[in-house]
Chains A and B, each alone.
Chain A
Amino acid sequence: SQQGEEDPQALSIQEGENATMNCSYKTSINNLQWYRQNSGRGLVHLILIRSNEREKHSGRLRVTLDTSKKSSSLLITASRAADTASYFCARWRRDSSYKLIFGSGTRLLVRP
């Protein structure tokens, strides 16, 4: 399967709370990326973390990467209703493959 594993599949929180989404993968990576998809729209790139980085910040986003556990997490702090979307992790396979492999996604609902 091309799908990675993300959890939770769905997350519902109150506005102002933090949201944490997790992603696990099986093969070695060059980097790992997170994308956001609003309902019925295309994907938008949020942040990229390289395999030699452990943590990266962008605004209210914080991404961590643990290559020993082959896992990453995306934290959205002080969530807003506008953060409601699906979030996907994606990674390039560290072989000759040209595929950017996406996880199955986490559907986030932020209640006003």
Chain B
Amino acid sequence: GAGVSQSPSNKVTEKGKDVELRCDPISGHTALYWYRQSLGQGLEFLIYFQGNSAPDKSGLPSDRFSAERTGGSVSTLTIQRTQQEDSAVYLCASSPGTANTGELFFGEGSRLTVL
């Protein structure tokens, strides 16, 4: 696609439910990143994919968080048994090359609200 696409754009869920957030990166981009942004804060790194593998998942805050990427393209971030502190904007970004170089291209984010 023309840009990084994320869905849903907004998600309201009840505490304890599972949620899935989807990211469709720019076609041909091999690197994919997930970040989390709490209200008025900076970006917190969650996980990085190169192709389908995740060399760096050190930012996932707990074992309730997981992510996968299939076909070197679409990625899904899953949060199990959501908590109120999971409320944030989840941003996905992609880049054409390997890590440590260049700029990231961001999607518009998925705003998660846990009641």
Residues of chain A whose beta carbon lies under 8 Å from any beta carbon of chain B: 2-3, 30, 33, 35, 40-45, 48, 88, 92-94, 97-105
Selected interface stretch from B11-19, B77-85, B103-111: B103-111
Q: By the criterion CB–CB under 8 Å, are A88 and B43 in contact?
A: yes
CB distance from B25 to the nearest CB of A (A): 13
User: Sorted from nearest, which 9 A-B pairs have the closest CB atoms?
Assistant: A42-B106, A98-B99, A45-B103, A102-B43, A104-B42, A98-B56, A43-B106, A98-B48, A42-B108
Q: List 22 A-B contacts (CB under 8 A).
A: A2-B44, A35-B106, A41-B108, A42-B106, A42-B107, A42-B109, A44-B106, A45-B103, A45-B104, A88-B42, A88-B43, A92-B100, A97-B56, A97-B100, A98-B48, A98-B56, A99-B48, A99-B59, A100-B33, A101-B45, A102-B35, A104-B41
B101 adjacent to chain A (CB < 8 Å): yes
Number of B interface residues in the complex (CB < 8 A) = 27
List, in ascending order, chain A residues with CB within 8 A of B106's CB: 35, 42-44
Given A48-B102, A92-B99, A100-B33, A3:B42 Cβ within 8 A: yes
Q: By the criterion CB–CB under 8 Å, are B42 and A100 in contact?
A: no
Q: Could you count the A-B residue pairs with CB atoms below 8 Å apart for me: how many are there?
A: 60
B91 adjacent to chain A (CB < 8 Å): yes
CB distance from B45 to the nearest CB of A (A): 5
Residues of chain B whose beta carbon lies under 8 Å from any beta carbon of chain A: 4, 33, 35, 41-45, 48, 50, 55-56, 59, 91, 93, 99-109, 111
List, in ascending order, chain B residues with CB within 8 A of A98's CB: 48, 50, 55-56, 99-100
CB distance from A51 to the nearest CB of B (A): 12
